Amino acid sequence: MAAGSAAAAGAAAEVQGSDNMKSSGKIIGIVLIGGGVLLCLAVAIWLVTAAAGGGLTPGGAALGGILALIICAPMVGVGVYLLIQGGREEKTMAQLAQQRKLLDIIKTRGETTVSDLVLELDTSYDQVKDWIYDLVGKGLFSGYVNWEEGTLYSHQASQLRDETRCQQCGGELSLAGKGVVSCPYCGTEHFLS
């Protein structure tokens, strides 16, 4: 259990650190886009005024414009990339925050209904189910759930590993997947971490 708590604490610290990174990634992207556009505009204004005043030949103005684009285009391109990547990271971080909240709710209550989780997390039944399987796969949650009743139970992994009978109906348990043991009689799934 201590290893699971340490993993959960590490995941929480990683998410908090990533929150700062995503904000700075989007900010850097916006700054690069703005800086690239402003630099291009400044060079364009300078080239137009210099060419209009006779201090710059048309060939020199064209060369200056090409050099400005060579400098500004990568700045804007990297800025757009960072902005898009920051948006993707925000979605991922929001999902991780929801999973962390789900795990906290389950661990503190010990028993809860899936419908309560759907309401509290403001998401769909299928999304909660996916998050539960994801948490089991990461080794952060152990317990069992009866999908028909919609009830989720949190248990110590050590207690579940020793069990050969279903908590719900007493039927013989069978392996259903990585970290998942399923009761073939009532459909209750036991999650091992």
Determine which of 24-33, 41-50, 60-69, 135-144 has the lowest per-residue pLDDT on average. Answer: 135-144
- The CA–CA distances, whole Å, from 66 to 59, 123, 131, 171 equal 11, 51, 51, 76
Interval 149-180: pLDDT, tens: 888 887 764 465 566 778 778 887 765 555 67
Per-position b or e across 73-98, b if 16+ CB within 10 A of its CB: eebbeebeebbeebeebbeebeebeb
Q: At residue 193, does pLDDT exceed 90?
A: no
- Please report the pLDDT score of residue 10 as a whole number: 46
What architecture does CATH give domain 110-193? Orthogonal Bundle (1.10)
- Kindly report the number of other CB atoms within 10 A of residue 7's CB atom: 14
Q: What is the pLDDT of residue 158?
A: 46
Q: Are 163 and 175 in contact (CB under 8 A)?
A: no
Indicate the pTM of the whole model. 0.56
Question: Distance of alpha carbon 25 from its chain centroid, rounded?
Answer: 15
pLDDT band, residue 16 (cuts 50/70/90): very low
As a whole-number percent, the residues of the chain with pLDDT over 90 amount to 19
Q: Which of 26-30, 119-123, 186-190 has the lowest mean pLDDT?
A: 186-190
Q: Spell out the alpha helix ranges (H) of the chain.
A: 2-52, 58-109, 114-121, 125-137, 157-161
Q: Answer yes or no: are the C-beta atoms of 159 and 173 closer than 8 Å.
A: no
Query: Following DSSP, what letter does each residue of 26-51 receive, concatenated?
Result: HHHHHHHHHHHHHHHHHHHHHHHHHH
